[in-house]
A = this chain, B = another copy of it.
Amino acid sequence: MNRKTYHFFCLLFVFCFHTLIQAQEHPKLILTKQGVEAIRAKLGTVPLFDASLSKIKDEVDAEIATGIHMPIPKDYSGGYTHERHKKNFLILQKSGVLFQILDDEKYAVYVRDVLMSYAEMYPTLPVHPKERSYARGKLFWQCLNDSNWLVYTSQAYDCIYDWLSKKERKKLEKDLFKPFADFISKGNPQFFNRVHNHSTWGNVALGMIALVMDDDQLLNRALYGLKVDNLSEDMKDNDGGFIKTKDQKIGFFGNLDEPFSPDGYYTEGPYYQRYAMYPFLIFGQALHNAKPELKIFEYNDGVLLKSVETLLNLTDADGEFFPINDGQKGMSYYSRELVTAVDIAYHFGGENAQLLSIAEKQDRVVLNDAGLSIAIGIKEGRSEPFLKKTVNLLDGSDGTEGGIGILRKDDMELIFKYAAQGLSHGHYDKLSFSVFEKGDEVLQDYGLARFVNIEQKGGGNYLKENTTWAKQTIAHNTLVQNETSHFQGKYEIGSKNHSVLHFFDTSDENLQLISAKEKNAYPGTEMHRTFALIMDNDYEKPYILDILKISSETNNQYDLPFYFLGQVMEVNFDYEVPKTLGQLGAANGYQHLWLEGKGQPKSKNTKLSWLNNQKFYSITMAANLQDELLFARIGANDPSFNLRRDPALIVRRKDISNTVFVSVIESHGSYSPVSEFAVNASSSVAALQVVLDTVDFTAVEIESEKGNTKLLIVSNVNASKEQKHELEIENNKYNWTGPYYFGQLKK
């Protein structure tokens, strides 16, 4: 019996035992009787809590004044009926909370009346008329959104439960909540019985209403899934993700065990982790309150609370999530989900003072014990800055499926992705990377091709360019072999593979390294990429050294793109620009790139400098004189202008099996359009070259403009920290221990 199975049975026992002897009063989910008393006692004394309360009161009062809006569902997201029912459930939840805190019946009356209207309408509703989803809801076009509705309205119902008459409760449960819960579970097993953020919402929806109604059978379904689902194993969802794999755990615990790694990294990436955090944590809080015996926040070494800090580390300096996989740029820790998450993590996770500074930036708290607790912490001046760390976040439920490395130094952040596929929202971007400075993108990951909830853009849903462009390998700062995407762009293959960490060493903050390998993206070809973030006195800021070593059984064409953002300042090679722009290729994302220029190196180093956000950047590459240097721009084959017209420089190396791409990326200097001063506008790299490349070792020299030369040697095979190495380069011997050597070049 392994650890998790053991837990499973223990929990099952405790749970059955307790429900027999317990008959709790309401509210019991997010608010508790004692919690409400504590809040009422503190009203007027905790500024951030009072301000949050007052803002929500104003919002709800204004909304109640407009009456009840109950349109017949018909729209996609962004459309009126969708946005209206979404607003309804958000306001219902808040109104319930206001009733508890302010003890003003007006809010209870509103919740009751709206829920009663739903109880009238719901039994009459057919399946939603929009047909695009693999799991259509009734109020919304997806069961996913119906589940959102239930997660929020359960809380509203909980708040007025005791205030309602028995008859009213009976009607709501019979005509609304029970059939609603059955429809999103039994009625849609392909939605409910899987491991995915969708089903997390479904499971939690059932769990929340089950706790309110004290319905053990329903709670059991929420926690462990439907016993019978008759789902075939090759079924897929709209995004091309599998519905169910063999022997997969299901239900809330399945969704908690599977996608979270022991490091608290959620395999779909930070954008969806953020989305899933709300149901995970709100249900965590509800279980903690209503079923304390489950010790949910201690489950799997406390992964639920740990995941909040992990997620905060997956943001740039502005608090915006790195747009890994399907992530919409701009989503940040200012979102309502993260307000809930941070408050809960603080309150139930040992009152980490660094979380207070995040809550201060968020400038609002949730209206319950957790929110009160964090607001008191701020009031008492206990806040400390949240220090984002250099971290290596392992992926996979047991932490063995690659990971995400984030190297940080001063204002520079490098994000290296060598993770698993990331379920259906994953991109084919093994060993890709992106770079941020002070929260601004330097080398971008494109993100997704979608305008979430903007009806004009395909109903706010994923656009077809998400598949044809954003997921493709060429859309990322990583290697493309023979113009095909990793794993042939096939989810079936990608989802079975992950990259492998070679080593990670950040013991010296001035010399941080991460190295990983990918052998499966292109069978017969191994990619091995090492990044170093180096602080050296010859350079103004930390620079990035990128060594990508390819070993293949066959000759191939290799393309390595760099999606620099900004305006080209200068290059050191000759190129021609075409009179008419054509597509760079026919498929696999290449059909979305215009070829804006084509050149070849004319020296041993290829250099491009650009200007963005008033800073200069340079990339210097060790050149093959046969390299093709391609200026590309996104936007071909984009009839609806769904894509941004962003540039890239692609290095193309043809008809070769083994090779090494080496690059240095620098941020340097600044330009002010106000003073019109240009400072340190040129790269500080004088020369860059591969001095040795064997199966065992790859060695790279970097010479600065000041004339110093540094040498980095990577041990390609043996990454042991204890291994002693000796190597002769240009008649000088280098001895060292561990996976790499870095130091002055000997002469």
Contact = CB atoms under 8 A, between A and B. Distances in A.
A580 interface: yes
A580 B581 contact: yes
A594 B636 CA distance: 12
B332 A674 contact: yes
Given A569-B457, A678-B455, A580 B577 contact: no
Interface in A32-68: none
A454 B331 contact: no
Given A638-B577, A639-B577, A681-B78, A570 B456 contact: yes
A676 B452 contact: yes
Nearest to A581: B581
Given A331-B673, A674-B330, A456 B582 contact: no
A673 B274 CA distance: 13
A357 interface: no
Contact of A328 (B330, B645, B673): B673
Contacts of A451: 569, 611, 671
Interface in A564-590: 567-570, 576-577, 579-583
A640 B575 CA distance: 10
Secondary structure at chain A's binding surface: helix, strand, loop or mixed? loop
A451 B503 CA distance: 43
A329 interface: yes
B582 A674 contact: no
B78 A678 contact: yes
A604 B477 CA distance: 46
Interface of A: 78, 83, 328-332, 334-336, 451-457, 460, 567-570, 576-577, 579-583, 594, 596-597, 609, 611, 631, 633, 635, 637-641, 644-645, 647, 671, 673-678, 681-682
Contacts of A456: 569-570, 609, 681-682
Contacts of A577: 637-639
B581 A594 contact: yes
Contacts of A457: 569-570
A49 B510 CA distance: 40
B335 A671 contact: no
Contacts of A677: 83, 453
Contact of A567 (B329, B567, B631, B644): B644
Given A580-B582, A633-B645, 7 more contacts: A78-B681, A331-B673, A335-B675, A454-B569, A454-B678, A456-B681, A577-B639
A458 to B, nearest CB: 11
A371 B211 CA distance: 69
A673 B567 contact: no
24 contacts: A78-B678, A83-B677, A83-B678, A328-B676, A329-B673, A331-B674, A332-B674, A336-B675, A451-B569, A451-B671, A452-B676, A453-B676, A453-B678, A454-B671, A455-B681, A456-B609, A457-B570, A568-B640, A568-B641, A577-B637, A580-B582, A596-B635, A631-B641, A645-B647
Highest count of chain B CB atoms <10 Å: which of A456, A582, A637, A671:
A456
A159 B83 CA distance: 69
